[in-house]
Structure 1
Amino acid sequence: MKKKERVMEWLSIVAVVVVGLMVGVELSVAFVMNPIFDRLPEDAGIAARGDGGRMLGRAMPFWYIGSTLLVAGTALAEPAAAGPAWTAVGLLLVSVVMSVALLVPINNRSKTWTPETVPADWREQKSRWDRLHLVRLALIVAAFVLVTVAATR
């Protein structure tokens, strides 16, 4: 196997791992962490969601953009895998736009809430974020499946 082919193979492996880990974190947020936070006493749940929003809010932009670039690199490097890889790039781009336009504004508000400053409609905002997050999660799961298909071609 030539050096260039090994690099291309590693690129697709890294793309699968990075996107897969991102999917795992987002699944955990949706089905583990937020349900736990919601069962905490109200003040503690608000604080926990705020802390999670601050922590993940710093990391996820790099993770989403990095994942998109890795998958685009796979699409460029692997002509036989271009179809599923470019479709995965499209889904990841939709998830980024959706995040910036819909989820980040809610997250930016909620990460500053304290029990004393929480707005009257905080439950509705939290529920809206959770619903939008599930849509975004479906997009990145589909992208993960497609980049995995691309990597195996």
Structure 2
Amino acid sequence: MPYELLRSIQYPMTIAYDVVMAAGAAMMAGNEFAIAAFCPSQFGRLSTRTHAEAAASMGASLGKGMPFWYALLLLFLIGAAFEHRPISHGFEAHCVCRISLGRTITFTVTMLVPINNRIAKMIPRVPTTGWLKDRVHWDLLHRIRVAVLVVSILLLLTAY
């Protein structure tokens, strides 16, 4: 009897937890997709100086907010592993999603953050040599990250 009572309370909380987690994950993936899909073409239309100003500004602002969002999502996913343990049938997909997101975070910190920091710290009036090459390289790596994020989100959504 106590297990049934606990389960009747746990199930609505689990659904609420899933909705919040899926919404946060989808917003993050959508934001990353929008940056990958629309920013490079729009930046390419700008003059070099304006492009440098926009890239430095966006790099600085997104560099401050995105690490928090990624870490929060990873914590939500780890929490969901415990939340769903007794009732989930898609635990394996959920584990793959967590591993994939963890690798995405590692990829971001080791590959994308150093490039982003160089671009964010440059003085737009006098851009550093090779900053445009850095932008193109960052865009390529970012597209890879977005692809992995989309797969992770699909795994998350199909895990339950």
Q: TM-score normalised to the size of structure 1?
A: 0.92
Consecutive unaligned residues in structure 1, runs of 5 or more: none
The answer to whether the aligner puts 1:21 opposite 2:27 as a matched pair is yes
Bigger Rg, which one? 2
Aligned residues: 151
Q: CA deviation at 1:114?
A: 2.7
- Write the letter of the residue equivalent to 1:103: L
Distance 1:101 1:117 in 2: 26
Residue segments in structure 2 that go unaligned for 5+ positions in a row: 1-6
1:12 and 1:70 in contact (8 A); partners too: no
Runs of 4 or more off by more than 4 Å in structure 1? none
Q: What residue is the counterpart of 1:35 in the other structure?
A: 41
1:107 aligns with 2:113: no
- Structure 2 match to 1:124: 133
SS in 1 for 2:121: coil
Across the aligned residues of Structure 1 and Structure 2, the Cα RMSD in angstroms comes to: 1.4
Distance 2:65 2:127 in 1: 24
Q: Contact (CA 8 Å) 2:56, 2:124: kept in 1 or not?
A: no
Distance in 2 (alpha carbons) for counterparts of 1:115 and 1:61:
24
| TM-score, scaled relative to structure 2 | 0.88
* Percentage of pairs with the same residue: 26
